[in-house]
Amino acid sequence: MIEPTNYIPNIPETDKMRVVIVGAGFAGLKLLGKIGCDGFQIVLLDRNNFHQFQPLLYQVATSGLEPTAISFPIRKILQNEKDIHFRVAELTEIQSDKNEISTSIGKLKYDFLILSIGANTNFFGQHNIEKYAYSMKTASDAILIRNTMLENFELALLDTEPEEIGKYLNVVLVGGGPTGVELAGALAEMKRFIFPKDYPELDISKMRIILYEASDKLLASMTGKASQKSKQYLEKLGVEVYVGTRVLDYNGTLLETSDGESVPSKTVIWAAGVQANPVAGLKKEVFGRGKRILVDQFNCISGYENIFAIGDLSLMETKNNPNGYPQVAQVAIQQAKQLADNIHRLKAGTPLKPFQYKNKGAMATIGRNLAVADLPYAKLSGFIAWVMWSFVHLFTIMGVKNRLFIFLNWSWGYFTYDQSLRVLIRPKAPHPKIK
């Protein structure tokens, strides 16, 4: 590995302005596509060499899709680009006085720096839960959850005590946002159609799928009708839904709640909140709620002229949105489009255009033929919302091959009531190197 004190090699010096984009999520890739290389040299940094479609991670966790179906190689996107340089690296610090960043592979100068490194799971300081519960922000997390649940069912076959068997079978979800609701629905369908056939020696009716939400409704960012419908659908599928209930502690086998209940479970999935990924080198006063970075109406970080933040990382406070815009893909994509235009305006010395979010609606699927959708022109639920959710997500996925694979998987699962990816894949530890 290159020493961080050195500059990253093989990135040529040119007379073009260098735009450094950190993060290849929805915001970073949309910015990359819109800004173009006309007059710019672009350097893209990300810890992974692929872009992942996070809204479908829950389907990887429930054996509905392969991780590769929701992932797309970044270098494939850049195959025909000459002035875009991609490196697998992590940002370690910003030195704004030098217009320079330090990374895990070396240092790099910039003319414009755009941060789009997103957010991670927020455990709200609950260390036991952070230690023992599972989060679902990456494909690796989703695979771990899939492996854990399948392995727990195998272990349940080896036990004879009903209480111990319950610990292996029960799944607890914490957080009633889209991730928690969609995952609960998918698990409920597995309990109904798949697990009884895979594990006929187990009494699957004893399996509990429990969803806890600390606020007074599910899908808090959606309308009351969508919240009510989603709860109704989940309960119809057999999910135990508790709103206004906080999870207080979890020791790996027993979960404690604010209403005094104790739930035995070896599988607790935490989807109760997110916080921005950390950034070192910026002034303390630029960090706001959820460790997000305060930006102005042009996505420029407060107190800096050429450093910007977009997507989940940014916090743009407005009169109508005092806590910032929601941390969803549409906000990230729209901010990236506007910032790409403003970077060109900065280069040309013309006035910048402020960002204005256009809410295109929100959707969540609960199960087969069950979904809710809050659109600007209509509030939908049931089959129509489910079809709309399916098409929107299918055509948002990057890559024709990925769309085809997902469509085939969905079609197979819909008509056969089966998910064929229930495989336990454990990574093998490497052999120790001989010195």
DSSP reduced 3-state for 91: strand
Residue 366 · residue 218 · CB < 8 Å? no
In angstroms, rounded to a whole number, what is the distance separating the alpha carbons of residues 56 and 69? 10
Q: Which two tokens stand for residue 389?
A: 């959710």
Residue 367 · residue 188 · CB < 8 Å? yes
Which residue type occupies 75? Answer: R
Q: Are strands 314-315 and 293-294 parallel, antiparallel or unpaired?
A: parallel
Residue 16 · residue 104 · CB < 8 Å? no
Residue 35 · residue 340 · CB < 8 Å? yes
Q: Name, in order, each residue with C-beta under 8 angstroms of 378's C-beta and a sequence gap of 6 or more.
A: none
The 3-class secondary structure across 341-386, one letter per residue, is HHHHHHHHCCCCCCCCCCCCCEEEEEECCEEEEEECCEEEECHHHH
In angstroms, rounded to a whole number, what is the distance separating the alpha carbons of residues 19 and 114? 8
The yes-or-no answer on residue 182 being catalytic is yes
The 3-class secondary structure across 231-278, one letter per residue, is HHHHHHCCCEEEECCCEEEECCCEEEECCCCEEECCEEEECCCEEECC
Residue 211 · residue 184 · CB < 8 Å? yes
In angstroms, rounded to a whole number, what is the distance separating the alpha carbons of residues 84 and 39? 12
**Other C-beta atoms lying within 10 Å of the C-beta of residue 265:** 22
Would you give the DSSP letter of residue 81?
-
Q: Which two tokens stand for residue 116?
A: 């789009």
Residues present in the chain in total:
435
In angstroms, rounded to a whole number, what is the distance separating the alpha carbons of residues 322 and 303? 20
- Give the active site residue among 182, 235, 261, 317: 182
Residues annotated catalytic, as ranges = 182
